[in-house]
Amino acid sequence: MGKLWITLIILLALGLVVAGGVGGHHVSTQNDFCITCHAYEKVSWDHGSHPQVDCLACHTKGFFTDKIQGARKVYLMFSGQVNPHHDAPSQTHPEKISENCSACHLSDDIRENDPDFYREHTEIMAGGRYTCLTCHGDNGHDPALQALRFKAPRYTQ
């Protein structure tokens, strides 16, 4: 790959990080931004059990990690190393997602209004044997639609 390309990619990645500090943050947290690279996830999310919940509500790993990961992903994609419309991600973060699920489903509000559910689930989660995804892995994306990604004719060789 030519030097110009590498320079462009680095500039783009830096731009993303810097923009994150000044107003770009708003744009980059939008669902629309995510789905430019995650088309299948958009559809499986639309038809999943949480279409009303933003991507980042489940997927954030904290502001700074999100920015660094974002820059890394832009680099991986534009240097042709990964195609997110086809390749499975090299890493997933079930513990982080699980914390994000808990922020809604095991909130103080739920503790007050649905004490039985709260108690049961707090007991299940104690000891760190499970993440929410152990038993509710399909939440967020419809699994059948999500699986279509690996059957897409355009990308199967």
Q: Rank residues 7 and 143 by Cβ distance to ligand HEC and give the closer one.
A: 143
The DSSP line for 63-120 is: HHHHHHHHHHHHHHHHTTS--TTTSPPS---HHHHHHHHHHHHTSHHHHHH-HHHHHH
Q: Which is nearer to ligand HEC, 7 or 27 (CB)?
A: 27
User: CB count, 10 Å around CB of 44?
Assistant: 21
| Under rule CB under 6 A, residue 36 binds ligand HEC | yes
Q: How far apart are CA 46 and CA 49, in angstroms?
A: 8
Interface residue with ligand HEC among 9, 13, 20, 58 (CB under 6 A) is 58
Binding status of residue 10 toward ligand HEC by CB under 6 A: no
- What number of chain residues touch ligand HEC (CB under 6 A)? 54
Task: Give whichever of 7 and 124 is closer to ligand HEC, judged by the CB atom.
Answer: 124
Cβ(31)–Cβ(55) under 8 Å?
yes
Under the binding rule (CB under 6 A), the answer on residue 74 touching ligand HEC is yes
Q: Which residue has the tokens 């994000």?
A: 100
Report yes or no: 66 and 8 within 8 Å, Cβ to Cβ: no
Q: By the criterion CB under 6 A, which residues form the site for ligand HEC?
A: 29, 31, 33-38, 41-42, 45, 49-50, 53, 55-59, 69, 73-74, 76-77, 82, 84, 88-94, 97-98, 100-102, 104-106, 121, 124-125, 130, 132-137, 139-141
